[in-house]
Chain A
Amino acid sequence: MLVRVLYRGYLLGRRVTAWLQRRFTPAGGFVLVGLALTATASDPEHTLGWQAFVVLAAMLGMAVLMTPFFRGKFAVQRHGPRFATAGEPFSLRIRVANLSGRPQRGLEYLEDLREADVSLAEFRARLQPGRRTRSFRLSGPLPPVRRAQTRAEPLPPMPAGSHAEVRIDVLPHRRGPLVLAGGLIGRPDPLGLLRSFCRAPLPQTVLVLPRRFPLAPPPMPGQSQYQRGGVALAAGVGESEEFVALRDYRRGDSLRRVHWRTTARLGRPIVKEYQDEHFIRHALVLDTFCEAADDARFEEAVAVAASFACTVPDQDSLLDLLFVGPHTVCVTTGRGVGHEQQMLEVLAAVKPCRESKLEALRSLVMQHHEALSGCVLVFLDWDEPRRQVVRQLRMLRVPTLVMVIVPPRTAETFDRGPAGDQPDRLLVLESGRVGEGLQQLGDRR
């Protein structure tokens, strides 16, 4: 009950804040803060703060009265990228046409970013770590709630029937789809405090990919392995040589392999013989099992996986991304099967899994182990079930590279466990210094 009330209050607070930020200009913000201060911190018996309150309230009142008197007709065209990267700003080129039949000036353009509400489950999960560990907070070590931010840009004067172009910068904070609902043509009131808007709906979605760390091509473990049945849809081939020889038909041979011409010439069934296909194929295993308190570390794990997905040379090898969310997922790229872009799109949508399904992840990895040259595992913890996965892979002679993302200032006391005898196969990455830690991979080449 209390959580629901807090949640409602939180949603209301977010909506009000977003509305205030959109409606008020910086000067309006000053006036609004001044109004709040003079309303709450004025002692009518000892100060004249109430007179200041009256003036500021009158200013805002007049600004509010001016807002309905903005009429205009505009058409908006937006040119922007389909993909962006979290934490890296991108630009939208906006073309605004004045269809209102009279010149327009003193206008501003705002991009209407559609923010998805935090769900009750997410809010509840975010409350829990605060209660248990530090304090109530919805930011700090947790990933940002806000998807993106942008700012108002002034529009040049537009004569009737003409158009203007403006560039809008957007800074995406979170990976995932970013919905741009349309354009808002704002007109500040004469005092420059409050904006009134004309909306121009123009829905578009930009997929924000995970942030990536600069990474030298990493030394991937293992050698090429036999790929049973080859790789369907692979544009390139492995070390196979088609048509090694012809031989007599044996029971069980596929009719597709019958070489009909020789069969006809010799009068007995002859089949084509192929060499087994060998590819270098790596698995990139992403650990998605974490509590809400560790969401920031999970984001860093996704970033590490994305960095690997972009860096592993895809012309010579295959890379399987394996993780378990609500469903088990395996995405393969390389050798023309898929492009790193697809893997980044998948990573942009991956969500943390609150229920630990390490057994499912272990099964998924074991299903693939015969085809794997090596396995890169990005873990959020180094507990016994995760160690067991690594132990099993080592027993199966699958070379592994394990990266564990640990909380800040815990790397010194980290217990390496079964990877203690191969220190270069286990990389401990401190949260907040992951990029720095990944540089150690380059040093190990």
Chain B
Amino acid sequence: MTPVNPVDRHATSPPLALSAALLLWGWQAGMLPWAAAMAGLIELARWLPLRFEPGQEDFNRLWNFTTLLFLGVGLYLFLAREGPGSVGAVVGTGPPGDRLQGMREISQTAVVFLRWLPFVLFPFVLAHAWSRQGMLPWSTFSLYLRQQEAQVAVSPAGVWRPARVHPRHLYLAVALFSASAAMEHAAFFLPAFVAVTAWALWPWRNRRFGAPVWVGLLVSLLVVSGAARIGMTALREVWQQWENRLLQQSGEREFDQVRSSTAMGAVGRLKLSGQILMRVRSKRERPPARLREAAFNRFQANTWATAHREFQAMLPAIESGPFRVAADLRGVGFTEISRYTTQGEAPLALPGNVVSIGPLPGVLVETNGMAAARVRSAPRLLTWSVDYGPGGGFGLPPEPDDLSLDGLTDTDRAAIENLAVELKLAGESPERAVETVSRHFMLHFDYALWQPPRRGSTTPSALARFLQETRAGHCEYFATATVLLLRVAGIPTRYAVGYGVQEQRGDEWVVRGRHAHAWCLAFMRGQWEDVDTTPASWNEVEEEQAGFTEGLRDWFSEVWYRFTQWRQEGGTWQLYAFCVSMVVLSWLGWRQLRGSRWRRAGHQPLAASPPPLQPGADSEFYAVVAGLEVRFGPRPTHETLDAWVTRLGVAPELRPEKLREMLRLHYRLRFNPAGLPPSERERLRMLAANWTAANP
């Protein structure tokens, strides 16, 4: 028995397998009529004798064109679906939630692109289906491989043929993959996918095993896949639960203007990010040392909260004008602050003595009673200007919560009250009390990001431990202790959080994640004033946290900041970018296609075909050979034409007797010095034409 060459077997895909994959894709993607039309056009080639004769170079050009089409569609989707914004959110310096959203948007864009992929590749596959080409070398699909192949010397005997693939196989895989890029018909997708895949793999099966083994394997595959699907669904549910927990935990890291969990009580090193969160520009003077994002007045279990949870919209005095905070004042300082927003929302970082906030057209600004401001419906990169000066600032006047020690544990209360007694704060004027507390912390306390383990500690309270044992901590300890000590002294105080502005880069100041700061607001001289008792060394300690990659990350941050700024100011830049890209891609595509000369096979002889170099080189039997090669793969070089035709011609549909007759005539034409008489040559021509028509 003669072995069947796998190359021959795999030269074609099983009938209708590609159409089935296309229909599955169309069904899933909601484009069934399109898919049916595409499948029809491809399958029609099986029934019609019309064929074109593109060469390898034509296919190379067509694939180049397809690649450009691929890029064009990708670019269109990228720009139309806010791709730059999504990429920016992922690689930018935004909060985790923003990144997650960016990744989701990119993923959705990729899914849409996948759904369109069969459309993009269809012209190539259609051209191939209507040509006489069978398998194509892999180099058709890769410029790199084309170059590699050009470097490899081709032996005169042509023994070595480059690796080849049938475009139908590739397209079938793409169609199946695209079919999976949808959520429709989830219940039927799996069996349909198994059926089409099994049908596509049919020619590749090992015939060593009988049909029962194959069918049994398929049934097993269906059962195993079904069971695995159930298992995967359960696994996904478990994963989603974990993901929700993780998101909740990461969500706590996002800024909350009505509640602030401090890191007090945590042991080990407190590590904050070096990402640039804000950029501050001030023309003449130094910008404010602190920018406040929120203030709180209730303390319990190491967490600060506000009594005023509701935010109300601020309205400018005139439309598109600035938001006046202190109507009868004029600022003496002016600064401009930029930061990224998360889905259009962000807290507004403001100096404590803000007078007015610059116009923010189209942006909704809200505040609460604790002088916290935030924006909604803001662009991705928000820039606001601030006037500030003496007498500025906003926030409700003191209220009972600003003097309350109710939330404190007994240990904390005892520690605070003992220290207040020790500092003799009772009865002191507010200014004097503030000075006493500040001096005490400056002289006897250190700034530290490291908290030692609690082993050997006499108290479970982090605050009491800070005040009585370690006497070192980060700003939250100092701010909390100051707020509570001053309350004991009868001064209304609040706990403020925001950022310190302390790093100048060129003509602007940058605010990093590790510049996050907390301080005390004390009501003195009829207004809320900042009281920062954290030792001044905190700036230097925080700067030591800068990693060695910070310079590089700063550079990327700067580039992305400039790009975002340009994008927001550029208006409809996407449209311009798309138009320019399309012009370039179209020009490149035209360049690829203009050199192709697609001839219709068999009807238009070559105008200037050279005379045959050897007798019989123009034999019609070569068309029959080409047809056999399309169907069964190329003839092995070690096999004579006679042996090959004899081997293949056993199938009755190939009409072996005609093949043998044609071969005899062909051999005589090729090797008989006297050639073939015209009548027999005509006979060969007719037989070949009939055979080719009957076996397209």
Interface set of A (CB-CB < 8 Å, partner B): 25-27, 30, 33-34, 37-38, 41-44, 46-52, 54-59, 61-62, 87-91, 105-108, 139, 151-152, 154-157, 167, 169, 171, 187-193, 211, 432
Q: Are B177 and A58 in contact (CB under 8 A)?
A: no
Chain A residues within an 8 Å CB radius of B204: 25-27, 188, 191-193
Chain A residues within an 8 Å CB radius of B236: 44, 50
**With the chains together, A90 CA to B637 CA distance in Å?**
13
Q: A154-B4, A190-B209 are in contact. Are A48 and B183 (CB under 8 A)?
A: yes
Chain B facing A: main interface SS: helix
**With the chains together, A90 CA to B153 CA distance in Å?**
13
Binary flags per residue of B114-126, CB closer than 8 Å to A gives 1, else 0:
1000000000000
**With the chains together, A386 CA to B6 CA distance in Å?**
55
Q: Are A189 and B159 in contact (CB under 8 A)?
A: no
Chain A residues within an 8 Å CB radius of B152: 87, 171
Chain A residues within an 8 Å CB radius of B160: 89, 169, 171
**With the chains together, A44 CA to B110 CA distance in Å?**
13
Q: Are B180 and A54 in contact (CB under 8 A)?
A: no
Q: Are B3 and A58 in contact (CB under 8 A)?
A: no
Q: A157-B3, A190-B213 are in contact. Are A47 and B206 (CB under 8 A)?
A: no
Q: Are A51 and B208 in contact (CB under 8 A)?
A: no
Binary flags per residue of B512-545, CB closer than 8 Å to A gives 1, else 0:
0000000000000000000000000000000000
Q: Which residue of A lies closest to B10 (CB)?
A: A26
**With the chains together, A38 CA to B3 CA distance in Å?**
35
Q: Are B180 and A192 in contact (CB under 8 A)?
A: no
A315 CB to nearest B CB, Å: 27
Q: Are A88 and B155 in contact (CB under 8 A)?
A: yes
B190 within 8 A of A: yes
B205 within 8 A of A: yes
**With the chains together, A37 CA to B169 CA distance in Å?**
16
Q: Are B107 and A62 in contact (CB under 8 A)?
A: no
Chain A residues within an 8 Å CB radius of B603: none
Q: Are B159 and A89 in contact (CB under 8 A)?
A: yes
Q: Are A55 and B209 in contact (CB under 8 A)?
A: no
Q: Are A43 and B180 in contact (CB under 8 A)?
A: no
Tell me the residues in window 202-216 of chain B with beta carbons closer than 8 Å to chain A beta carbons: 204-209, 213-214
Of B218-226, B261-269, B357-365, B671-679, the stretch lying at the interface with chain A is: B218-226
Q: Are B153 and A211 in contact (CB under 8 A)?
A: yes
Q: Are B177 and A55 in contact (CB under 8 A)?
A: no
A348 CB to nearest B CB, Å: 16
Chain B residues within an 8 Å CB radius of A90: 159
**With the chains together, A105 CA to B225 CA distance in Å?**
30
**With the chains together, A107 CA to B4 CA distance in Å?**
11
Please list the 7 inter-chain residue pairs (A to B) with the smallest Cβ-Cβ separation, ordered nearest first. A106-B208, A192-B204, A89-B160, A27-B204, A156-B3, A87-B153, A52-B180
Tell me the residues in window 138-175 of chain B with beta carbons closer than 8 Å to chain A beta carbons: 148, 151-153, 155, 159-160, 163, 165, 169, 173
**With the chains together, A57 CA to B337 CA distance in Å?**
53
Q: Which residue of B lies closest to A61 (CB)?
A: B224
B467 within 8 A of A: no
Q: Are A46 and B228 in contact (CB under 8 A)?
A: no
Chain A residues within an 8 Å CB radius of B208: 105-107, 187, 190
Chain A residues within an 8 Å CB radius of B151: 432
Q: A54-B190, A91-B159 are in contact. Are A156 and B108 (CB under 8 A)?
A: no
**With the chains together, A54 CA to B159 CA distance in Å?**
41
Q: Which residue of B lies closest to A432 (CB)?
A: B151
Chain B residues within an 8 Å CB radius of A25: 6, 204
Q: Are A62 and B224 in contact (CB under 8 A)?
A: yes
**With the chains together, A171 CA to B5 CA distance in Å?**
20
**With the chains together, A108 CA to B183 CA distance in Å?**
41
Chain A residues within an 8 Å CB radius of B229: 51, 54
B110 CB to nearest A CB, Å: 7
Q: How many A-B contacts at CB < 8 Å in the complex?
A: 144
**Would you mind naming 28 contact pairs between A and B with Cβ atoms under 8 Å apart?**
A25-B204, A26-B165, A27-B201, A27-B204, A34-B177, A41-B110, A43-B107, A46-B111, A48-B180, A49-B177, A50-B236, A52-B176, A52-B193, A55-B190, A87-B152, A89-B155, A89-B159, A105-B208, A106-B208, A155-B3, A156-B2, A157-B1, A187-B206, A188-B204, A190-B206, A191-B201, A191-B205, A211-B153
Q: Which residue of A lies closest to B208 (CB)?
A: A106
Chain B residues within an 8 Å CB radius of A54: 190, 225, 228-229, 232
Chain B residues within an 8 Å CB radius of A154: 3-6
Q: A87-B153, A89-B155, A154-B5 are in contact. Are A191 and B217 (CB under 8 A)?
A: yes
Tell me the residues in window 176-212 of chain B with beta carbons closer than 8 Å to chain A beta carbons: 176-177, 180-183, 186, 189-190, 193-194, 197, 201, 204-209
**With the chains together, A190 CA to B204 CA distance in Å?**
9
**With the chains together, A187 CA to B205 CA distance in Å?**
11
**With the chains together, A33 CA to B169 CA distance in Å?**
13
Q: A49-B180, A49-B181, A51-B193 are in contact. Are A41 and B114 (CB under 8 A)?
A: yes
Q: Are B186 and A48 in contact (CB under 8 A)?
A: yes
Chain A residues within an 8 Å CB radius of B225: 51, 54-55, 58
B480 within 8 A of A: no
Chain B residues within an 8 Å CB radius of A52: 176-177, 180, 193
B650 CB to nearest A CB, Å: 15
Tell me the residues in window 621-654 of chain B with beta carbons closer than 8 Å to chain A beta carbons: 638
Chain A residues within an 8 Å CB radius of B181: 46-49
A96 CB to nearest B CB, Å: 12
Q: Are A190 and B28 in contact (CB under 8 A)?
A: no
Chain B residues within an 8 Å CB radius of A30: 169, 173
A137 CB to nearest B CB, Å: 11
Chain B residues within an 8 Å CB radius of A108: 6
Chain A residues within an 8 Å CB radius of B5: 154
Q: A42-B180, A88-B153 are in contact. Are A51 and B169 (CB under 8 A)?
A: no
**With the chains together, A46 CA to B160 CA distance in Å?**
45
**With the chains together, A89 CA to B186 CA distance in Å?**
51
Chain B residues within an 8 Å CB radius of A139: 148
B393 CB to nearest A CB, Å: 46
The residue from A50, A58, A193 contacting B224, defined by CB atoms under 8 A apart = A58
Q: Are B180 and A167 in contact (CB under 8 A)?
A: no
Q: Are B107 and A46 in contact (CB under 8 A)?
A: yes
Q: Are B190 and A62 in contact (CB under 8 A)?
A: no
A350 CB to nearest B CB, Å: 20
Q: Are B224 and A190 in contact (CB under 8 A)?
A: no
Chain A residues within an 8 Å CB radius of B2: 156
Q: Are B213 and A62 in contact (CB under 8 A)?
A: no
Tell me which of B4, B6, B110, B221 has the highest count of chain A C-beta atoms within 10 A of its own C-beta.
Answer: B6
Chain B residues within an 8 Å CB radius of A26: 10, 165, 204
Q: Which residue of A lies closest to B103 (CB)?
A: A43
B137 CB to nearest A CB, Å: 14
Q: Are B220 and A62 in contact (CB under 8 A)?
A: yes
The residue from B107, B193, B207 contacting A55, defined by CB atoms under 8 A apart = B193
Q: Are A48 and B173 in contact (CB under 8 A)?
A: no
B283 CB to nearest A CB, Å: 45
Q: A27-B204, A34-B173, A52-B193 are in contact. Are A169 and B224 (CB under 8 A)?
A: no
**With the chains together, A212 CA to B182 CA distance in Å?**
56
Tell me the residues in window 1-46 of chain B with beta carbons closer than 8 Å to chain A beta carbons: 1-6, 10, 28
**With the chains together, A48 CA to B10 CA distance in Å?**
28
Tell me the residues in window 334-376 of chain B with beta carbons closer than 8 Å to chain A beta carbons: none
**With the chains together, A16 CA to B424 CA distance in Å?**
76
Q: Which residue of A lies closest to B184 (CB)?
A: A48
A425 CB to nearest B CB, Å: 29
Q: A55-B194, A91-B159 are in contact. Are A48 and B182 (CB under 8 A)?
A: yes
Chain A residues within an 8 Å CB radius of B194: 55
Q: A62-B220, A169-B159 are in contact. Are A34 and B186 (CB under 8 A)?
A: no
**With the chains together, A187 CA to B206 CA distance in Å?**
8
A208 CB to nearest B CB, Å: 13
Binary flags per residue of B67-91, CB closer than 8 Å to A gives 1, else 0:
0000000000000000000000000
B572 CB to nearest A CB, Å: 29
**With the chains together, A324 CA to B328 CA distance in Å?**
92
Chain A residues within an 8 Å CB radius of B163: 151
A345 CB to nearest B CB, Å: 20
